[in-house]
Chains A and B, each alone.
Chain A
Amino acid sequence: MAAAVLWWTLRAARQVLPSPCPRQVRSYYVDWRMLRDVKRRKMAYEHADERLRINAIRKNSILPKELQEVADKEIAALPRDSCPVRIRNRCVLTSRPRGVKRRWRLSRIVFRHFADHAQMSGVQRAMW
């Protein structure tokens, strides 16, 4: 009886208080270009092994050239978004394609904003 009551209260509680901790959930990318960049990264990850192996066959002085030409055609036939060269390191918060510092993945403007508000750990204004 007590156990049943406990179960019921637990169930009810779960419906009323679904997630007691407020969390900022990012459900949209900043813009469409960022979304396309994300898609390119995923494709590059999927095809990374294949590309590596086909390139190993191509950039070779031992294997016959006919084989290398066939490999050339194969790698050209892979989807265009699967090559890592097309990835652009955009700013994570503003999707700015230029002026992005790699260590923080932020554009220079956002970096400066956070650093001035003392929200970047260990970053200080330079003075010498």
Chain B
Amino acid sequence: MVSQPFSRVKRFIFDIKQELFSTSSVLSTDKDKSAASKESTTEGASKRQEGRAETPKQHLLDIIGNMKVELSYRKKLQQLKANENTKQAMNELEGKPLNPELVKAASAVASSLPRNKKQTESELLAQLRRHEETTDKQKKGGAINIRSVNVILEMTVKRQSPAQRGARISSGISLQLDEDGRRIRPERSSAQSIDSRRYFLRSLWMLTDCYKISFSVSPPTIWDLEFAKEVAAVTAQPPRNGFEEMIQWTKEGILWEFPVDNEVGMEDDAEFHEHIFLEKHLEAFPKEGPIRHFMELVICGLSKNPYLSVKQKVEHIEWFQKYFEEKKELLQEI
């Protein structure tokens, strides 16, 4: 659509303005996690203190209530600990390859933080694992859905048997009077409706058999694909109802596939660290001075931008590199 680029431009402008006029804090999330476990215990303590301040009856009731709360908290804590132990055991035993670089980075971060190194490290590893699982699920799930839909769309052979097709074509070629045409058409339509169901399944199975044979021998050649396209083009009848019209539009690309897949055009296989840690692209720039400062801000903004692919971000940085190299003489005068 024509107006899509305009909104994209606006988003660019917004993002680059943000990058120029804001700062970021990276490590706050890790500290929050380790603090969360301590907060739950303090909440339990405060509840106990409130119960003692009221009248004896309510006091008793509160104590009973708090005991229940305490028990449930204890059970939860025990369960959490048990889960953590099992998770740690699982982490060690599971052969699923977490990127060794990521593991090293996680351990380095954990060791750099002041509190409870083992706990933070295990939590970071669990986060990484969950992240990888979700990305894998999305990739597999999305791929399977699209593949299955495409298979179904391609394999539905629309209606005609070869014999009927031949008859129709011959009638179309030979010049006929209107009366003949009018007579023949309603006949054929009724014949179609009766016999087409029989022939539909038969033609479908015939085609699937043909293609199974051809695929088993070798990867589909160009001639096979051409043949498939020709068959589809000839057997394609005008859509009988709105559903078939929508199917045709989806095949052509006019209509989206539902449920809407937000990531249709984008196939970004890059890991999150390639998006965020862009400093390695800054090696060609001078290490001090206003240009370095400017480029660091650019990188900060790009790392926060979820709408660009890694390639586009790298292109931005390379453009700046070229620009500043061209202006080197001007800069040295200053």
Contacts and interface: CB of A to CB of B under 8 A. Distances in A.
A14 B234 contact: yes
Nearest to A74: B323
B9 A67 contact: no
Interface stretch (B31-39, B54-62, B63-71, B165-173): B165-173
A20 B239 CA distance: 9
Contacts of A44: 5-6, 9
A13 B6 contact: no
B9 A45 contact: yes
A53 interface: yes
B169 A16 contact: yes
* Residues of B contacting A: mostly: helix
Contact of A48 (B9, B294, B320): B9
A62 B9 contact: no
A53 B323 contact: yes
Contact of B327 (A16, A17, A38, A67): A67
B20 A56 contact: yes
A59 B19 CA distance: 12
Nearest to B292: A62
B327 A14 contact: no
B326 to A, nearest CB: 10
A82 B125 CA distance: 48
Given A10-B234, A87-B6, A62 B169 contact: no
Contact of B334 (A16, A22, A64): A64
Interface in A23-58: 38, 41-42, 44-45, 48-49, 52-53, 55-57
B291 A63 contact: yes
Contact of B165 (A13, A20, A53, A64): A13
A14 B233 contact: yes
Interface residues of B, number: 43
B320 A70 contact: no
Nearest to B298: A56
Interface in B289-334: 290-291, 293-294, 297-298, 315-316, 319-320, 323, 327, 330-331, 333-334
B162 interface: yes
Contacts of B319: 49, 53
Contacts of A41: 2-3, 5-6
Contacts of A56: 16, 20, 298
A63 B94 CA distance: 52
B231 interface: yes
A9 interface: yes
A76 interface: no
B68 to A, nearest CB: 50
A52 B307 CA distance: 15
Given A13-B169, A44-B9, A89-B3, A20 B238 contact: yes
B88 interface: no
Contacts of B230: 10, 14
Interface in A81-97: 84, 87, 89
B13 interface: yes
B173 A12 contact: yes
Contacts of B297: 62
A48 B12 contact: yes
A121 interface: no
A60 B301 CA distance: 14
Nearest to B168: A13
10 contacts: A12-B173, A13-B172, A20-B237, A21-B248, A53-B316, A53-B323, A66-B334, A67-B330, A84-B10, A105-B3
Closest 9 pairs (CB-CB, A-B): A45-B5, A48-B9, A13-B169, A16-B172, A62-B290, A21-B238, A13-B234, A41-B2, A52-B12
